[in-house]
């Protein structure tokens, strides 16, 4: 069997799907994307075609090495995201040919269902969300059976912000706790928008209210800063959505900077690369919770990985009102969320059947950019 074609689809609201075809008639799907740079990733996929066209799709590791190491400049979000989506599609093809889920080829499942956490609308964050919207969103997640939710602090945040900022963030957390109770975990995504100094202050203020974890307490560029925040608090620190391949995670583990590793199957190198990262994390006693703010192919890839990973903790999920991230309107059989869990899929490959007609109907030109936030003085703030 040989790879014959790679075809990209820009899909609303901001996703990029990849279809890999073979001369045997078997096709695989992946989700290669850098949010805000989808068209750049599509160009990178086209540049990798000489490595892939005519190659055996079963030789996943060999092709991964050739795509990653075969160029003088390696790594970074664009190249590894392109490789990630291609790798997902290759596993999908291989699983379909062998008639088994990807997790069976990675050692078999260690659990029967996957615990999910959903995002909630956040008052004061980008988008004009009201206080009532935030509390209603949290209440809805609890009613839907989620055992964990996540939100982000208001943006922008000054490098050294005021006492009123800290008090407002504590009020936000306490209000959510009153809505969902102590039996539902609440994670706080600092989103890299807070300086190390303010992260220490905010973590100290939140500590007694028992957050599940704080995510990206500061920008991921400097592991020492993340480790410093981790040493300053008893709250578990999570990070990794902007790290790529196992080499990007090495220092996070060695410096004991995180308690929860969050690589993204669409960014960090694909399914097998994340399984390697999870194995590294396990050695250091670090839990594994894949990042996923994307579409149903990303979710499908995550679920395959979650099913066979012993140190898996919980799976991120946008929980869109439309259900598009579950595959409604894109997959022939969407995923089903039941009491905060998704059952381990039983189908071959990624366990999904993409409806290409619906994908084409939801296609657009790929123009989407990350929102920009400014301070009061007009300078750019971290989002």
Instruction: Give the contacts of 295 (CB within 8 A, at least 6 positions apart).
Output: 11, 15, 17, 31, 324, 325, 330
Res 174: pLDDT? 97
Contact 207, 233 (CB under 8 A): yes
pLDDT-based confidence at residue 151 (cuts at 50, 70, 90): very high
pLDDT in tens, 230-280: 999 999 999 999 999 999 999 999 999 999 999 999 999 999 999 999 999
The mean pLDDT value for 112-133 works out to 89
**Euclidean distance between CA atoms 225 and 217, whole angstroms:** 9
- pLDDT of 142 reads 96
User: Which residue reads 């007694």 in tokens?
Assistant: 208
pLDDT at 125: 73
Residue 154 pLDDT: 87
Distance from C-alpha of 172 to C-alpha of 206, rounded to nearest angstrom: 10
Per-residue pLDDT at 22: 98
Known active-site residue 372:
no
Q: Which pLDDT band holds residue 98 (cuts at 50, 70, 90)?
A: very high
pLDDT band at 123; cut points 50, 70, 90:
confident
Tokens of 24: 């045997």
DSSP 242-281: T--HHHHHHHHHHTT--SEE--BTTTSS-HHHHHHHHHHH
Catalytic pick among 10, 119, 191, 267: 191
Share of the chain above pLDDT 70, in %: 100
Q: Which residue in the block uniquely carries the two structure tokens 């999570």?
A: 238
Is the pLDDT score of 127 beyond 90?
A: no
Residue 126 scores a pLDDT above 90? no
- Considering 10, 119, 267, 291, which one is annotated as catalytic? 291
Angle, CA of 243, 203 and 115, to the nearest 5°: 60
- Is residue 317 within 8 Å of residue 289, measured between CB atoms? no
pLDDT digits (tens, 9 = 90+) for 175-216: 999 999 999 999 999 999 999 999 999 999 999 999 999 999
Distance between CA atoms of residues 17 and 291, nearest Å: 18
- Is the pLDDT at 122 greater than 90? The verdict is no
Token reading at 348: 């071959």
Q: How confident is the model at residue 124 (pLDDT cuts 50, 70, 90)?
A: confident
What is the DSSP track for 296-351? HHHHHHHHHHHHT-TTB--EEE---TT-GGGTTTTBSS---EETTEEEPP-SSBTS
Confidence of residue 5 (pLDDT cuts 50, 70, 90): very high
Is the predicted pLDDT of residue 383 greater than 90, yes or no? no
- Asked if residue 344 lies in contact with residue 113, where contact means CB atoms within 8 angstroms, the answer is yes
Regarding predicted confidence, which is higher, 313 or 153?
313
| Residues 90-94, mean pLDDT to the nearest whole number | 98
Between CA 329 and CA 96 the distance in angstroms is 22
CA dist 189 and 119 (Å) reads 10
- pLDDT at position 215 is 98
């Amino acid at each position: 069997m040989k790879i014959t074609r790679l075809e990209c689809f820009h899909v609303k609201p901001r996703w990029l799907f990849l279809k890999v075809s073979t001369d045997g008639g078997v096709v695989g799907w992946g989700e290669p994307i850098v949010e805000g740079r989808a068209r750049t990733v599509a160009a990178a996929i086209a540049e990798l075609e000489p490595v892939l066209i005519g190659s055996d799709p079963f030789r996943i590791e060999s092709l991964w090495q050739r795509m990653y190491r075969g160029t003088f400049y390696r790594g970074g979000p664009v190249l590894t995201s392109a490789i990630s989506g291609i790798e997902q599609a290759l596993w999908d093809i291989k699983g379909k040919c062998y008639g088994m889920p990807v997790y069976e080829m990675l050692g078999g499942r260690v659990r029967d269902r996957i615990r999910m956490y959903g995002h909630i609308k956040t008052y004061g964050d980008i988008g004009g969300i009201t206080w009532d919207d935030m509390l209603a969103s949290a209440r809805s997640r609890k009613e839907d059976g989620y055992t964990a939710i996540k939100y982000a602090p208001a943006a922008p945040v000054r490098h050294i912000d005021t006492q009123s900022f800290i008090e407002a963030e504590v009020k936000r957390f306490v209000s959510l706790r009153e809505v969902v109770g102590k039996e539902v975990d609440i994670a706080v995504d600092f989103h890299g928008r807070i300086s190390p100094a303010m992260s220490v202050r905010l973590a100290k203020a939140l500590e007694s209210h028992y957050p599940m974890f704080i995510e990206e307490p500061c920008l991921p560029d400097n592991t020492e800063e993340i480790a410093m925040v981790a040493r300053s608090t008893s709250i578990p620190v999570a990070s990794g959505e902007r790290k790529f391949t196992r080499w990007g995670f090495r220092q996070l583990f060695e410096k004991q900077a995180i308690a929860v590793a969050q690589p993204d199957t669409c960014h960090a190198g694909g399914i097998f690369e994340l399984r390697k990262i999870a194995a590294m994390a396990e050695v250091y006693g670090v839990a594994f919770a894949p990042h996923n703010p994307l579409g149903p192919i990303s979710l499908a890839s995550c679920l395959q990985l979650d099913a066979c990973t012993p140190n898996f903790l919980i799976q991120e999920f946008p929980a869109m009102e439309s259900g598009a991230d579950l595959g409604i309107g894109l997959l022939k059989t969407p995923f089903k969320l039941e009491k905060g869990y998704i059952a381990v899929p039983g189908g071959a490959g990624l366990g999904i059947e993409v409806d290409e007609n619906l994908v084409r109907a939801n296609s657009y030109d790929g123009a989407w950019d990350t929102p920009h936030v400014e301070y009061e003085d007009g300078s750019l703030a971290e989002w």
